[in-house]
Chain A
């Protein structure tokens, strides 16, 4: 990739100041190509990362390191559909990463 995103790690440092992922069950809404997911997933107990757009979802799945495969569940689904089938109080951390808008 010729584009370098946040090489200063400003976002990463802010994220780890704000959220403790250690041993947590995380829901990431609008995971895109999994850029942020890959940064914190090794700390979490489990990550459910949902992304409604097929192309981004495919990139996320293909870019996931093998060692995170057991821990991260990428789903090609909208939040509305996901939430309708999800039980209450299922997550310790919910992440909206550039996806609310």
Chain B
């Protein structure tokens, strides 16, 4: 990952910028909404169970800043929401995106996620019309400038 960032440095012009967008390592929040009201919200797994791929990305960015390859010019957080009519539809969609994750999931983690999805869908079905599912991810965006020595 650090090598990739070094290569990006090489590919950028002197006045170029690197834009990085990625979520926080904490698990996303699964939600059920009735119209706009959030009636269920629970992390996909234990809040301390951070995404290792994201942690590695954060470490790589910290290293290239420490080594003065890039400097952070600007940094912000924002909320990224995705919505679907049902929990299974939302889950299918995100499972497809996440199939590229390099860290394999442990069985206990999978079971925990399964339980959260099942609980959310049960609540959604009980609400009936007007209910939908959502995923909330706290996300960060950074603008980094290459430093030329």
- Which A residues fall within an 8 A CB radius of B? 2-8, 10-11, 13-15, 17-19, 27, 29, 32, 53, 79-80, 83, 86, 88-101
Contact = CB atoms under 8 A, between A and B. Distances in A.
A8 B137 CA distance: 13
Contacts, number: 122
Contacts of B8: 29, 83, 94, 96
B78 A91 contact: no
Contacts of B14: 89
B82 interface: yes
B10 interface: yes
Given A15-B19, A89-B16, A93-B17, 18 more contacts: A3-B89, A4-B83, A8-B79, A8-B81, A10-B81, A11-B80, A19-B19, A29-B8, A89-B13, A92-B16, A93-B18, A93-B19, A94-B12, A94-B19, A95-B18, A95-B21, A100-B60, A101-B23
17 contacts: A3-B82, A3-B89, A10-B80, A14-B76, A18-B19, A18-B74, A83-B8, A89-B12, A89-B13, A91-B12, A93-B17, A94-B12, A96-B18, A98-B23, A100-B4, A100-B22, A101-B51
Interface of B: 1, 4, 7-8, 10-23, 51, 53-54, 56-57, 60-61, 74, 76, 78-85, 89-90, 93, 97, 100, 139, 141-143
B141 A96 contact: no
Q: What's the dominant secondary structure at chain A's contact region? A: mixed
